Amino acid sequence: MNFAVVVFPGSNCDHDAYHAVKHVFGQSAEFVWHKETSLGDADVVILPGGFSHGDYLRTGAIARFSPIMASVRAFAEAGKPVIGICNGFQILMECGLLPGAMLRNRDVQFHCEHVGVRIEQADTPFTGKASVGQMLRIPIAHGEGNYFAPPEVIAELEAHRRVIFRYASADGEVTDAANPNGSVHNIAGICNEGRNVVGLMPHPERAVELVTGSADGRVVFESVIQHGV
Amino acid sequence: MVFDSATLQRHGVTPDEYARIVELVGREPNLLELGLFSVMWSEHCSYKSSRVHLKTLPTEGARVVQGPGENAGAVDIGDGLAAVFKIESHNHPSFIEPYQGAATGVGGIIRDIFTMGARPIALLDSLRFGPVEDPANRRVVRGVVAGIGGYGNSMGIPTIGGEVMFDETYSGNPLVNVFCLGIARHDALVKGQASGVGNPVYYVGAKTGRDGIHGATMASAEFDETSADKRPAVQVGDPFMEKLLLEACLEVMQTDACVGVQDMGAAGLTCATSETGSRGEVGVEIDVMHVPQREAGMTPYEIMLSESQERMLLIVHKGREAEVERIFEKWDLHAVRIGEVTADKMLRIRDHGTLVAEVPNRALTDEGPVYRRPFAPPADMAARQRMPSVDATQLPVTLDALLRLLASPGIASKRWIYRQFDHMVRTNTIVLTGLGAGVVRVKGTNRALAMSLDGNGRFCQLDPRQGARLAVAESARNVACAGAEPIGATNCLNFGNPERPEIMWQFAEAVAGIGEACVALGTPITGGNVSLYNETAGAPILPTPVIGVVGVLEDASHVRSRVFQDAGLDIVLLGENHGELGGSAYLTTFLGTISGVPPALNLAAEGALQRFLVAEAGLGAITSAHDCSDGGFVVALAECCFDSGGIGADVDVPAASGDGEVGMAAATLFGESATRVILGVKPEASTALLERARSAGVAAQRVGATGGTQIRVAIDGVVAIECPVSEAEDRWTNGFSQWLESPPQRRG
Amino acid sequence: MRARVFVTLKPSVFDPQGRTIVEALHSLGHTEVGDVRQGKYFELDLNVESAAAAEALATEVSQQVLANPVIESFRLEVDSESKAGRS
Amino acid sequence: MRARVFVTLKPSVFDPQGRTIVEALHSLGHTEVGDVRQGKYFELDLNVESAAAAEALATEVSQQVLANPVIESFRLEVDSESKAGRS
Ligand SMILES: Nc1ncnc2c1ncn2[C@@H]1O[C@H](COP(=O)(O)OP(=O)(O)O)[C@@H](O)[C@H]1O
Ligand SMILES: [Mg+2]
């Protein structure tokens, strides 16, 4: 499969996503600079983590205007798989492909650590190989991952099973203690109505080789690779 | 003389130095020229007080690819690759404005690394603060930690480790030392050198503002009151700009269009132009009118002396300009041509064509003053080294004592700090921060690099030479514990006012100690940094040399952390316990004093121990390794249990013969004898391992086994301390944040 | 022309920064401080001729870029001096 | 009482945030925007009786916590309504 990893000025997990896809999973991968207008023959688009444009104004606020985003939108609207990880998720929300916004973490500190993440739904291209309720231990690394959306949007997300990942304790309980940033309903990741666009704050691409501390993120990539064949 | 003494004083130039300037220039300098000399001859840039001592450091070795003198040092790590690394201090700015001071410190050291053509892959930080009972210190801690994270995280360079200590003397003088390591191919290392007469000189990055123009170099003739107001004391970091610069510069350097590159750090454009010219034995001529300026009406003096962040100077092969400009444009950066390389070894500065300064490059960079400042040991040295007379009740060996030590700020887990640092980005970190030395794999090879920063101001206060030797040994030992062979070192020397003989003595002794240990342990010094005048109202900081050691692990899969991997392992102690409490964390915690003689260090035994740890890496017997440092054996043992999921340990150690009867138990358990490592060893392999240790000349004994839920420590068969792992781990994990968040106390 | 834009979190949105500040102020003894909300403040220099044009431009820029309508609202002031506020 | 505090970087201090916003606005075609400075805006609810007391408290709090005197300056407005601004 062909993965396009979009690079914004300030992206810094672009190489990690590329490494995972290309060297760990043996897929073909291309960096796509944000000023380009075509995604080439991509089958999957990854918006990686980082601090696009420094995130000085608001996370993802400026990246959404990049020329490539029109193609990303068209790609998403055609039902093809798009994943936004961390800053990529924030960009997807800023450009309206996913609902909600991120607030500062409730303790206003940046958190980099492994957290428990529960798979809530297995019917997206990025969770097809997982089972509902499966627990992943994967890293987060963000200062603004405190997911917020108005109550009616949250209700809609829950009603339509669009919460895909939730912070949970090691034994799968959704508790406040397991919530690293204050996200509403412990939401760690969601999808769009078409279920092909997924955004999440945790970094599955950082957890694909045991030597780095966890390989639990593999299921996200294995799912989309399986989805494509 | 055309300048009055006040002007010279403001420039920090002594009458003797001025006379020398006149001699070197061949005439009276003008004000701009005086400014150039004042910054280049400042202590910070010229190392005028420290140079004679630094010269004695060992800088050569088979692995050294680049020793001191360039923007950073480099050592060979195999496969044609070099590890490029250096440490920098940003102490004073971090006191003035903790967040921005620390952030711009990170930015500065990162530039030093990518200037060499290396991709930065890891950061470490070494911090010293005053006690955080005082809200003022708390503000510094919070700001510095957030600032390091704010810059490093945005850059996508993991901060994979560091160290922090607290002492009253750092209250007005916090230390922020930051280390960065990058990777480059040997043949692609870029030097900070100009060459090729007629080659264009480019400026790229942030615009030049009035920031950072050194207080000591203000010149009355050009500054009225209002312009002084315009000059901010603090620089604001722009990690986004730096990220663009990093990517663009590395892309430019992949072409061979560049002759040399230099970042603009201290002394800004002055340093970058004169140093590149001087290293390349050429001249450099620029016109300041081309320099991008953030504010209107800047004078050549201000432009040349500005220390605005995130700026680079490039010397480009004539004819390749378009290629270079195109790459910068891609990253939304505009490289501007500000001048060219000339043949006559002069630094020539023009303003709209008019010549405004003309001085020989080498006069600025190499012919500055060198001082052999007098030194003498402090008068109270003997008193410092005397152990306080105490009775046994003042030296508790109880469960409570252990818990208190584990929760003390110097020893408690630093998770509150490193959780604010992205320590996993780039997916190379293979020993997570907090679990040992920082270790990153090198993608595309089997190897990994381990690195550690260490320094112990307490030991140095009691004996600077010994303290420095111990710091080198500890840093290298941490790297060897991970399985890596120590191959190179860098150092950041933080001291008080060198014009005072006792400070100069501390400095000279520490440098001598570093030299001795680096020679013995095979870790040449490839670079470093000196930070002097760290004192408030005549009260200096503890002498604080911070050592960074880098090691290579041939097979990354052999890496070890400090954590016991399983129950039922043999616990083996390498090294000997001499029961030395002098300068220990234990004494400071329970007696509130820094006193005694620091632990002895046998460098031959230390070397043997480290070589043994490295040789064992591939053999599989050792599953974890942790050195005994602050808090001694029991604290180290407890740390081996932490993060293991609650695995306990049951050990029995012989009493140490050390500091007499009183406090024997405390000395045995909490003394900080060097050259000791606790191993978790597969039981079926431990007899053979002990045998191998013996033949390697390394003292080794099986002292117990892992398992159960308790940490139980006996001395000669009598249980001294018993504590549930969970309770100990809880105190250790939360000690730091509880302390930081406890109700503030105003002191004094 | 100069426009000043104030971006604030909507009242229904929890403000972690404001809460942290209140806690810090209480711990410093300023218990009379009931609540703090933190927002953003922008000063824009606009090269347009009229106050009306400035207002229109600032509004557009605020809607498009400066504020995120999911969580924030904004208000603005236009001011024909070139320097606003004292420091 | 309600106080509003505006914290801005001192004019001489470099504002990377403002610069990034200007560049973004220019690339979106808003070339009439000459300069942007980004600051912070705080709304404080103060349980004090008089405007004078509110002003004194807000000033103290601004100096101590809200503004960083090394790089920032602030100005404030006190207002006796309990809700300030429209949204
Ligand atoms: N300031 C800091 N920044 C990042 N990591 C830190 C810092 N201080 C301590 N750590 C991490 O916490 C762990 C323990 O530190 P330390 O007690 O100094 O280790 P050791 O005694 O083994 O040298 C190490 O992994 C270290 O990297
Ligand atoms: Mg240490």
Confidence of residue B393 (pLDDT cuts 50, 70, 90): confident
Helices B15-25 + B31-40 axis angle, to 10: 110
pLDDT, residue B212, reads 73
pLDDT, residue B658, reads 59
Query: What mean pLDDT, rounded, does chain B reach?
Result: 93
Confidence of residue A218 (pLDDT cuts 50, 70, 90): very high
Enter the tokens of residue C1. Answer: 């022309």
Residue A53: which of D20, D28, D38 has the nearest Cβ? D20
Residue A106: which of C9, C16, C65 has the nearest Cβ? C16
Q: What is the DSSP letter of B379?
A: T
Q: Which chains touch C (3 or more CB pairs under 8 A)?
A: A, D
C38 at interface of A, judged by CB pairs closer than 8 A = no
| pLDDT over 90, % of chain B | 86
| pLDDT over 90, % of chain D | 75
Query: Please, are residues B89 and B177 in contact by the beta-carbon 8 Å criterion?
Result: yes
Mean pLDDT of B462-476: 98
Mean pLDDT of B481-487: 98
Mean pLDDT of B397-410: 95
pLDDT tens digits, one per residue of B168-196: 999 989 999 999 999 999 999 998 889 99
Confidence of residue B232 (pLDDT cuts 50, 70, 90): low
Nearest to A34 by CA among A67, A75, A76, A71: A67
Enter the tokens of residue B488. Answer: 């190179």
Mean pLDDT of B654-660: 75
pLDDT, residue B217, reads 43
Classify the C-alpha dihedral B45-B47-B49-B50 as positive or negative. Answer: positive
Nearest to A201 by CA among A216, A181, A177, A219: A181
B92 at interface of D, judged by CB pairs closer than 8 A = no
Enter the tokens of residue B270. Answer: 């002055």
Integer-rounded Cα Rg, in Å, for chain C is 16
In our burial notation (b when 16+ CB lie closer than 10 A, e otherwise), range B121-145 reads bbbbbbbbbbbbbbbebbebbbbbb
The residue whose CA has the least distance to atom 21 of ligand 1 is B629
Tally of residues, chain A: 229
Q: Which of residues 2-31 of C touch A (CB under 8 A)?
A: 9, 12-17, 19-20
Mean pLDDT of B340-353: 96
B144: three-class secondary structure by DSSP: helix
Residue D41: which of C8, C32, C45 has the nearest Cβ? C8
Check if A86 is active-site: yes
Mean pLDDT of B23-44: 94
| pLDDT over 70, % of chain B | 96
Please indicate whether residue B164, judged by its CB atom, sits closer than 6 Å to ligand 1: yes
Query: Please, are residues B177 and B453 in contact by the beta-carbon 8 Å criterion?
Result: yes
Of residues C40 and C24, more confidence is placed in: C40
Distance from CA of B437 to the nearest CA of A (A): 15
pLDDT, residue B558, reads 97
pLDDT at B222 over 70: no
User: How far is B369 from B48, CA to CA, in rounded Å?
Assistant: 6
Query: What's the burial of B584, exposed, middle or buried (CB within 10 Å: 0-12/13-18/19+)?
Result: buried
Confidence of residue B25 (pLDDT cuts 50, 70, 90): very high
Q: What is the distance in A from the centroid of ligand 1 to the CA of B664?
A: 29
Enter the tokens of residue B402. Answer: 């252990």
Mean pLDDT of A55-62: 93
Cβ-proximal residues to C71 (8 Å cutoff; 6+ apart), any chain: A101, A103, A148, C9, C10, C13
pLDDT, residue B291, reads 97
Domains of chain D: residue spans and CATH = 2-79 (3.30.1280.10)
pLDDT, residue B645, reads 96
Integer-rounded Cα Rg, in Å, for chain B is 26
Helix (H) or strand (E) holding A5: strand A2-7
Mean pLDDT of A4-24: 97
Beta bridge partners of B627: B677
User: How far is A14 from A2, CA to CA, in rounded Å?
Assistant: 15
Mean pLDDT of D7-13: 88
User: How far is B730 from D44, CA to CA, in rounded Å?
Assistant: 38
Listed residues: CB within 5 A of ion ligand 2: B 163, 629
Cβ-proximal residues to B373 (8 Å cutoff; 6+ apart), any chain: B49, B498, B499, B501, B504
User: How far is B366 from B91, CA to CA, in rounded Å?
Assistant: 26
Cα end-to-end span (Å), chain B: 48
pLDDT at B112 over 50: yes
pLDDT tens digits, one per residue of B249-284: 999 999 999 999 999 988 899 999 999 999 999 999
Mean pLDDT of B376-386: 93
pLDDT tens digits, one per residue of B424-460: 999 999 999 999 999 999 999 999 999 999 999 999 9
pLDDT at A71 over 80: yes
pLDDT, residue C81, reads 56
pLDDT tens digits, one per residue of B132-171: 889 899 999 999 999 999 999 999 999 999 999 999 999 9
pLDDT at C80 over 90: no
Nearest to B443 by CA among B27, B121, B37: B121
pLDDT at D87 over 80: no
Classify the C-alpha dihedral B335-B339-B344-B347 as positive or negative. Answer: negative
User: How far is B333 from B391, CA to CA, in rounded Å?
Assistant: 68
Q: What is the DSSP letter of A185?
A: G
Confidence of residue B417 (pLDDT cuts 50, 70, 90): very high
Query: What domain count does chain A have?
Result: 1
pLDDT tens digits, one per residue of B512-526: 999 999 999 999 999
C70/A182 touch (CB, cutoff 8 Å), yes or no: no
Nearest to B234 by CA among B149, B293, B147: B147
User: How far is A7 from A141, CA to CA, in rounded Å?
Assistant: 18
DSSP assignment string, C13-35: S--HHHHHHHHHHHHTT-TTEEE
User: How far is B435 from B420, CA to CA, in rounded Å?
Assistant: 16
pLDDT tens digits, one per residue of B115-130: 999 999 999 999 999 9
B229 at interface of D, judged by CB pairs closer than 8 A = yes
Nearest to B481 by CA among B561, B577, B573: B561
Nearest to B303 by CA among B315, B316, B290, B314: B290
Distance from CA of A57 to the nearest CA of D (A): 7
Confidence of residue B662 (pLDDT cuts 50, 70, 90): low
We report the CATH number of the domain holding residue A122 as 3.40.50.880
Question: What is the domain extent for residue A133?
Answer: 2-228
Confidence of residue B557 (pLDDT cuts 50, 70, 90): very high
pLDDT, residue B218, reads 40
Enter the tokens of residue D77. Answer: 């407005």
Enter the tokens of residue A120. Answer: 């809530």
Query: What mean pLDDT, rounded, does chain A reach?
Result: 97
Confidence of residue B748 (pLDDT cuts 50, 70, 90): very low
Mean pLDDT of B1-17: 88
Contacts 24+ apart (CB under 8 A), B321-329: B321/B200, B321/B202, B323/B255, B323/B257, B324/B202, B324/B252, B324/B255, B324/B257, B324/B258, B327/B248, B327/B251, B327/B252, B327/B255, B328/B204, B328/B248, B328/B252
Cβ-proximal residues to B400 (8 Å cutoff; 6+ apart), any chain: none
pLDDT tens digits, one per residue of B520-544: 999 999 999 999 999 988 899 999 9
Mean pLDDT of B418-423: 98
One-letter amino acid identity for C50?
Answer: S
